[in-house]
């Protein structure tokens, strides 16, 4: 099995670039952020506070999270229901960032992620894929870009989906999430020792796709 780990901060272009590269190479693209988002969504939907670790942990046994693939597109099911679209809101982003700092939440999602890579050739993106989930990945990439560029990309994505957001708020959220993700005690966001660091500031989408495809081909 081939496993490519792509980690990096929010908005670095991981998901769009990784999805395209996976399609080119014929691998399955697994977006692990969607799993944490699903827990964040379930917590908000259940009327609980995502900062309340006890409430979050108590909710976990009632949740069944599954991944499905339709024409190569990942879908995430929460108790049998497709929540893929509902997890893409700023509120769910922030809730995901909160719950992902809780060790029981990370444990809850751990084997689902590992099993995907045991049964398929994957490009998996997240925060701790190269360091924790797939330490054996043949290629590890840490994809980053400046916070302003990442916020601009995320802002344009949300506006394109018809969401009413302000750039300043997206940038603020991005910085808050960066801080949460890199300062937490469990699985903090950091490059694996053997990761290649790729900064995509100033790159077009196509340039980043090309760069990563070549890098992966060279290293396999
Ligand atoms: O990648 P995305 O922005 O969708 O991830 C949402 C949140 O889930 C991140 O801010 C991060 O806190 C968390 N996450 C994580 N580990 C992963 C993927 C995402 O902690 N492997």
The closest-lying atom of ligand 1 relative to the alpha carbon of residue 37 is 6
Q: Is the CB of 150 within 6 Å of ligand 1? A: no
pLDDT at 124: 98
Q: Is the CB of 127 within 6 Å of ligand 1? A: yes
Q: Is the CB of 13 within 6 Å of ligand 1? A: no
pLDDT digit string, tens, across residues 78-115: 999 999 999 999 899 999 999 999 999 999 999 999 99
- Give 60 Cα–ligand 1 centroid separation in angstroms: 17
Asked if this assembly's ipTM is beyond 0.90, the reply is: yes
195: exposed, middle or buried (Cβ count in 10 Å: 0-12, 13-18, 19+): buried
Binding-site residue set for ATP: 8-16
Q: Is the CB of 128 within 6 Å of ligand 1? A: yes
Binding-site residue set: 8-16
Q: Is the CB of 100 within 6 Å of ligand 1? A: yes
Successive 10-residue mean pLDDT values, the chain, 220 residues: 95 92 96 98 98 98 96 94 95 95 97 96 96 97 95 93 94 92 90 96 95 97
């Amino acid at each position: 099995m081939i496993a490519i780990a792509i980690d990096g901060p929010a908005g670095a272009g991981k998901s769009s670039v990784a999805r395209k590269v996976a399609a080119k190479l014929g691998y399955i693209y697994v977006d692990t952020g969607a799993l944490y988002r699903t827990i964040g969504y379930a917590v908000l939907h259940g009327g609980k506070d995502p900062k309340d670790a006890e409430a979050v942990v108590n909710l976990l046994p009632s949740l069944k999270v599954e991944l499905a693939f339709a024409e190569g597109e990942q879908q995430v099911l929460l108790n049998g229901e497709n929540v893929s679209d509902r997890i893409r809101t700023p509120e769910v982003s922030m809730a995901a960032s909160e719950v992902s700092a809780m060790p029981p939440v990370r444990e809850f999602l751990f084997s689902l992620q590992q099993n995907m890579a045991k049964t398929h050739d994957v490009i998996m993106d997240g925060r701790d894929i190269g360091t924790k989930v797939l330490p054996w990945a043949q290629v590890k990439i840490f994809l980053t870009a400046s916070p302003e560029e990442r916020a601009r990309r995320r802002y344009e994505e949300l506006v394109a989906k018809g969401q009413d957001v302000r750039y300043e708020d997206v940038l603020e959220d991005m910085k808050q999430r960066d801080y949460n993700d890199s300062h937490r005690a469990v699985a903090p966001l950091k490059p694996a020792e053997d990761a290649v660091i790729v900064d995509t500031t100033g790159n077009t989408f196509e340039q980043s796709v090309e760069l990563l495809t070549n890098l992966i081909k060279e290293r396999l």
